[in-house]
Amino acid sequence: MIEVPVALSTTNWAGNYTYWARTLHRPQSLEQLQEVVSAGARVKVLGSRHSFTGIVDSAELVSLEAMTSPDSVVVAPDRRTVTVDAGLTYGEVAAALQPHGLALHNLASLPHISVAGAVATATHGSGVGNGNLATAVAALELVTSAGEVVRAARGDADFDGMVVGLGALGAVTRVTLDVEPAFEVRQQVFDHLPWTALFEHFDEVVSCGYSVSLFTLFGGDVDMVWVKSRTDAAAPPEGELFGAVAADGERHPIPGIDPSPTTPQLGSAGPWSDRLPHFRMGFTPSNGDEIQSEYLLPRAHAVPALEALRALADRIRPLLQTCEIRTVAADRLWLSTAHEQDSVALHFTWVQAQSAVEELLVDLEAALLPLGARPHWGKVFLADAGTLAPRYPRHADFADLVQRLDPRRAFGNAWLERHVLGG
């Protein structure tokens, strides 16, 4: 087993959070991982480091990189599921599925994120009929703080609580995902959607493609609507969309930035994995120099939420790089931000100004929390466990599951106590 000073991985992906861990373990086998977690007083698994907070920080960190390989991808004989190392990125999974002619149902805006990290935080993608990435999990394997290997599958008593586990239950090592036959997607961007058109036709706008994202700086209109349409479904809109006009060139979600890192647009058909994300592998995703926050609300509250944000526009704009509006279908996973409610996701890409962003979030959350907002677990927010627990009907069951799988709280940390578990 390899142990290295944590200085080799001192910050998260965006550089806004510095880990305080003393040691970074790199186990090369399941047995070595069992030894590490059973011996550690406090330990967390470090994935692609795309979280923006201390959700994965601990006295000791574990990298599963040496236990992760695209060669480990196993397609089930019935071609309905695939089992992968949890540390693989979605880009790597997509590449491994390509020779088999298979696809995942959806992808997040970045293919750079790890499967385990995305699933554990209910990271999503978009589409009124699409559940978040965690809903594709059919089974998983994790190592508990006692060093035991636990396997659970859809239908098991605790499974719906284990999937979006926030890293609080154990070290997830293998994940089985639902797959379907590969499909192609066309991506078209529309510029300058009037606010009045969005408010009058919100459901129609977000339903006009398989996956739809809107980007705005809260100015005079919605800057862009990105429509991703499957070629085996209804034809995508052309030319005009409720007053928005088809873009005359490729766009970056952040206005004014070179679109080279983005996936192909202008209506050209291509593989699902090359169109569903906003960004391509091999490039710095998004802007890189940023902080992110996100809140998911009942979809029925989308227009009131956007009106509340427009009222704060003068305070939001100086810190905002872009705000993305997406939809996520309801699910049954206990700590999913879309648990039992079709949701609208309001995602903020901020400039690197942590204290100013947190000061703004006081008023932003005061506007959104009364509308039922649930913060994305992997991004910057302020709400504490006392505020958030009532928003999750199975919260008490999750706390009980944590106690059963990790009674000594080896996978706990200050962030989990403050924002999830309390006490």
Q: What is the CATH number of the domain that holds 138?
A: 3.30.465.10
- Judgement on whether residues 227 and 268 belong to the same structural domain of the protein: yes
State the Cα–Cα distance between residues 124 and 252, nearest whole angstrom: 20
Residue 309 lies in a domain: yes
Residue 388 lies in a domain: no
- Judgement on whether residues 57 and 75 belong to the same structural domain of the protein: no
Interior angle at CA 45, CA 42 and CA 47, nearest 5: 155
- Judgement on whether residues 142 and 197 belong to the same structural domain of the protein: no
| Residue with token string 């994305």 | 376
Per-residue tokens: 75: 């397609």
- Tell me how many domains the chain contains: 3
Residue 151 lies in a domain: yes
User: Does the predicted TM-score (pTM) go above 0.75?
Assistant: yes
Which residue segment(s) compose the domain that 160 sits in?
68-181
Residue 48: what pLDDT?
A: 79
- Judgement on whether residues 341 and 202 belong to the same structural domain of the protein: yes
Q: Are 325 and 306 in contact (CB under 8 A)?
A: yes
- Judgement on whether residues 215 and 306 belong to the same structural domain of the protein: yes
- Judgement on whether residues 193 and 317 belong to the same structural domain of the protein: yes
- Judgement on whether residues 194 and 342 belong to the same structural domain of the protein: yes
- Judgement on whether residues 31 and 87 belong to the same structural domain of the protein: no
Question: Which secondary structure element, helix H or strand E, spans residue 366, and what is its range?
Answer: helix 354-368
Residue 10: what pLDDT?
A: 74
Longest dimension (CA), the chain: 61
**Which CATH number does the domain housing residue 250 bear?**
3.30.70.2520
Interior angle at CA 133, CA 128 and CA 135, nearest 5: 80
Domain boundary among the residues 21, 41, 66 is at: 66
State the Cα–Cα distance between residues 269 and 247, nearest whole angstrom: 16
Residue by residue, DSSP assigns 145-207 as TTS-EEEEETTSTTHHHHSS-TT-S-EEEEEEEE-EE--EEEEEEEEEEEHHHHHHSHHHHHT
- Judgement on whether residues 13 and 57 belong to the same structural domain of the protein: yes
**Which CATH number does the domain housing residue 49 bear?**
3.30.43.10
Residue 412 lies in a domain: no
| Residue with token string 């090592």 | 173
Domain boundary among the residues 165, 181, 197 is at: 181
Q: Are 110 and 286 in contact (CB under 8 A)?
A: yes
- Judgement on whether residues 60 and 96 belong to the same structural domain of the protein: no
Residue 118: what pLDDT?
A: 95
What is the pLDDT of the chain when averaged over all its residues? 93
- pLDDT of residue 408 exceeding 60, the answer is yes
- Judgement on whether residues 322 and 245 belong to the same structural domain of the protein: yes
Classify residue 59 as exposed, middle or buried by CB count within 10 Å of its CB (0-12, 13-18, 19+): middle
pLDDT tens-digit series, residues 153-197: 999 999 999 999 999 999 999 999 999 999 999 999 999 999 999
| Residue with token string 């349409």 | 229
Residue 411 lies in a domain: no
- Judgement on whether residues 202 and 222 belong to the same structural domain of the protein: yes
